[in-house]
Amino acid sequence: MSDSASAPKMPQHARMSQFDVVDNCLQIGGLPLPELARNIGRTPFYAYDSKVMDAQVTALRTALPPEIHLHYAMKANPMPEVVRHLASITDGLDVASAGELRVALQTGVNPACISFAGPGKSAQDLTAAVTSGVIINMESVGEMQRIAALADSTGTRPKVAIRVNPDFELKSAGMKMGSGPKPFGVDAEQVPAMLEEMASLPLEFMGFHIFSGSQNLREQAIIEAQTKTFELAFRLSQSAPCPVRWLNIGGGLGIPYFPGEQRLDLNPIASNLAELVEAAKVQLPGVEIVMELGRYLTAEAGIYVCEIVDKKVSRGETFLVTNGGLHHHLAVSGNFGQVIRKNYPVCLGNRVEGDTPEEVNVVGPLCTPLDILGHRVTLPAAAPGDLIVIFQSGAYGLTASPLDFLSHPHPAEVLL
Ligand SMILES: *Cc1c(COP(=O)(O)O)cnc(C)c1O
């Protein structure tokens, strides 16, 4: 065990600017955090601020060319109220299962503005997709044949797009989902043959879905990937049986989680996209261009709040033990795609600043050393009953966590 006096200082985060602090209390949805906690009646909970989502959508709409349709990729945060809110301010939804599709359809969004991606779609998934009339992003030739068989048996002509596994990758993406051998999509080089086979099937070909990665904070890497995405779509369209009407260019826009990370500058991305959109008007006349974003729309709008249950000192380090942990929020523990664990931004929500800051380890109640919410973070001196807030928690939180590990109660969830 290292001694905290000699341990290297952990890099600390700048103050999160999306939420106000009034009378030393964090405010969310116009309420001081302790009041929100009292209203909810229990901790832990996730709270999502719709105004922060609105601001993200407005920033995108202001920067991006008006031809770009913005979709919300539901898996980032499938809470029905969140989906309903985002459906009302975006142009469509992307779903990854029949369960997500059900929630998407309940928002009243036009099924033609919903797309369904994901490898291994079951017979139930495909039936739900075909009967509702959404665009199916086909992940393989086998899936195309299963959809065609369903179309024959139901007398329908499903809308389909080919999800392409590109022949390039989004450099330095947090999670690479394109290039190389992948379970996602059809290798670019196999697409012409698939298009030829499709020409004789009862399918309505819409276009391509090309998604090359996630959580990217480098504008130049995003620009390069988007340029290559359009070039690939232009190239593949030459083998298409009919004009390409729909091009989903994926997302990939990241948000800052860790000390030293900066918010993306949308302007260079937007000016490059404006050129690509103009090129598409020539190469793919009438094409609808969709950008699908999950994390970028919801992550910064959400906080995860838990309560300190115990405070103890072990061999020179202070531990704040809370009632929340990785069972509710796997990503904050560093076990959802991170290579090296880094701290999410954390604060004491009911006393943001204090005279006697302490370096502490914030941990959860699970019997595993992985259950870390903050490693050597500096917080005002805290005690049982105080509220720990984890910022940037609106995406890949509750539903990306092993909720039943150790059988603790599930967290509450509110949209404000
Ligand atoms: C997960 C996913 C997204 C959303 O990614 P974010 O990083 O949350 O924006 C978009 N499209 C597809 C196909 C996905 O699988």
- The answer to whether residues 218 and 317 belong to one domain is no
Residue 5 confidence (pLDDT) above 70? no
CA of 95 to the centre of ligand 1 (A): 10
| Whether 356 contacts 380, CB under 8 Å | yes
Instruction: Report the 10 Å Cβ neighbour count for 37.
Output: 21
pLDDT, position 177 = 55
Q: What residue owns the CA closest to ligand 1's atom 2? A: 73
- Place 11 in a pLDDT band, splitting at 50, 70 and 90: confident
Q: State the Cα–Cα distance between residues 283 and 187, nearest whole angstrom.
A: 22
Residue 98 lies in a domain: yes
Cα angle value 362/53/159 (rounded, 5°): 115
- The answer to whether residues 289 and 385 belong to one domain is no
Nearest ligand 1 atom, CA 395? 8
| Whether 144 contacts 123, CB under 8 Å | no
Residue 54 lies in a domain: no
pLDDT, position 3 = 44
**Ligand 1 in reach of 394 Cβ (< 6 A):** no
**Ligand 1 in reach of 75 Cβ (< 6 A):** yes
Question: What is the pLDDT averaged over residues 323-342?
Answer: 94
pLDDT, position 178 = 59
- The answer to whether residues 252 and 397 belong to one domain is no
Residue 312 confidence (pLDDT) above 60? yes
- Place 176 in a pLDDT band, splitting at 50, 70 and 90: low
pLDDT, position 191 = 97
- The answer to whether residues 167 and 102 belong to one domain is yes
- The answer to whether residues 94 and 231 belong to one domain is yes
Question: What is the pLDDT averaged over residues 233-258?
Answer: 95
- Place 171 in a pLDDT band, splitting at 50, 70 and 90: low
Residue 147 lies in a domain: yes
Tokens representing residue 294 in the block = 């999950």
- The answer to whether residues 168 and 265 belong to one domain is yes
**Ligand 1 in reach of 352 Cβ (< 6 A):** no
pLDDT, position 8 = 62
Domain end marker among 270, 293, 316: 293
179 contact partners, CB below 8 Å, separation of at least 6:
165, 166, 167, 168, 169, 212
Q: State the Cα–Cα distance between residues 137 and 181, nearest whole angstrom.
A: 18
Q: Which CATH number goes with the domain that contains 406?
A: 2.40.37.10
- The answer to whether residues 287 and 307 belong to one domain is no
Q: Total domain count for the chain?
A: 2
CA of 309 to the centre of ligand 1 (A): 36
Residue 63 lies in a domain: no
- The answer to whether residues 157 and 283 belong to one domain is yes
The string of pLDDT tens digits covering residues 73-104 is 999 999 999 999 999 999 999 999 999 999 99
The string of pLDDT tens digits covering residues 211-235 is 888 899 999 999 999 999 999 999 9
- Percentage of residues of the chain with pLDDT beyond 90: 89
200 contact partners, CB below 8 Å, separation of at least 6:
none
Nearest ligand 1 atom, CA 292? 10
- 109: containing domain: 78-293
- What secondary structure does DSSP assign to 353-395, as a single string? S-SSEEEEEEE-SSSSTT-EEEEEEEEE---TT-EEEESS-SS
- Place 1 in a pLDDT band, splitting at 50, 70 and 90: very low
Domain end marker among 255, 271, 293: 293
The string of pLDDT tens digits covering residues 20-75 is 999 999 999 999 999 999 999 999 999 999 999 999 999 999 999 999 999 999 99
- The answer to whether residues 274 and 343 belong to one domain is no
pLDDT, position 213 = 83
Residue 216 lies in a domain: yes
pLDDT, position 175 = 56
Secondary structure string (H, E, C) spanning 187-253? EHHHHHHHHHHHCCCCCEEEEEEECCEECECCHHHHHHHHHHHHHHHHHHHCCCCCCCCEEECCCCE
- The answer to whether residues 206 and 279 belong to one domain is yes
Domain end marker among 275, 293, 311: 293
pLDDT, position 179 = 66
